[in-house]
A and B are shown apart, each in its own frame.
Chain A
Amino acid sequence: MIYLQLFFEFFKIGLFAIGGGLATIPFIQNLSDKYHWFTTEDIINMIAISESTPGPIGINMATFAGYKVAGILGGIIATLGEIAPSIIIIVLIAHYYMKFSEEAIVRASLEGIRPAVIGLIGAAAFEVVKIALFNIESFLQSKAILDFFDFKSIVLFAVLLFLIQKYKKHPILYIVASAVIGIILKY
């Protein structure tokens, strides 16, 4: 029964892939070795589409992979399989978090954890900024310092940062506006 198999395989991915969505790639590769569900090209295409569409990358990959194997229902089943372990594990943890988060020792440890988490998010942001504002590859090719900066993006970044801080509108507005600007000015 292909649906049961899909659910079970993606349940395993949800259970063992710790970290971001890209951590699920080796597992999906493993599936293609085991069942020949997808070719390498399929997987490359899957990653590219998951990164260029809205939604968490891991979920996009699961939906796409499930669809490839067993159509629309396959996409739904794979996605549900992948999120099921999270729901079970996090509900258990959340239960205890609500109970103990006011305890002195938990509060003390959280005070050290929060700055560390901001550092983690900072490192993720650093990667995004690097890709969005700088042309590292063309700089390495031409060695011309001017090639390093993506001026068009840096200007948009500065303007956006100013507007975000000043007007505090919903992030959706900035994302949609930037997509339109990207199309018009060929970013």
Chain B
Amino acid sequence: MKQLFELFISFARIGAFTFGGGYAMLPMIEKEIVEKKKWATSDEILDYYAIGQCTPGLIAVNTATFIGYKRKGILGAIIATLGVVFPSLIIITVISMFFEHFQDYTIVQHALGGVRVAVAALIVHTITKMWKQSIKDWLGILLFIFSFIAVAFSDISPVIIIILGGIIGTNKNMRKKADAK
């Protein structure tokens, strides 16, 4: 019971401070789930992102479901997911009841201007950390560059890039193993 409650609170905290899409959640997940609670490793988070990217649904939700399931099975999956959406339910309901033009207030715009910069700095920091941990050789660097350029400057679907990464990884690592034998 206590563990379920902890799952809910951690994910509610993540949901309450995510500004932007699922990627904006990453620094928070790194801190809260990987470093503080040690519920998953950085590599696992990347795997969840990859799977979340290729399956239906929102990445933020998929990641929460995954970690919840790993911790406490199906009930954990449900509780973690409810946790991540809980702040949205409250905040959006209140805003749509009382502040139809919430985003037009100058104070909100200034605050968001600051928050955007913080999100940019946090995500850049998280990427450098993940880079150090998960990119181990030249092939990894090439895969990173290819994937970055493909998504930033073309319309290639992330799903295709992930599948390609999987095929290349399998090829290289299985061959390495065969050579070792």
Contact = CB atoms under 8 A, between A and B. Distances in A.
Interface of A: 14-22, 24, 45, 48-60, 63-64, 67-68, 72, 75-76, 79, 82-83, 85-87, 89-91, 93-95, 97-98, 101, 104-105, 107-129, 131-133, 153, 156-157, 160-161, 164-165, 170-172, 174-175, 177-183, 185-187
B36 to A, nearest CB: 8
Contacts of B120: 125, 128-129, 132-133, 157
B131 interface: yes
Contact of A182 (B24, B69, B114): B114
Interface string B17-44: 1111111111110011000000000010
Contacts of B119: 128, 132, 175
Interface string B146-181: 111011100000110110111111111110010000
Contacts of A53: 88, 91-92, 95, 102
A175 to B, nearest CB: 5
Say which size band chain B's interface belongs to: 35 or more
A119 B147 contact: yes
A174 B16 contact: no
A72 B66 CA distance: 28
Contacts of A133: 117, 120
Interface string B62-105: 10011001100010011001001101110111011100111100
Given A49-B102, A108-B170, A128-B119, A187 B114 contact: yes
Contacts of B16: 54-55
B42 to A, nearest CB: 9
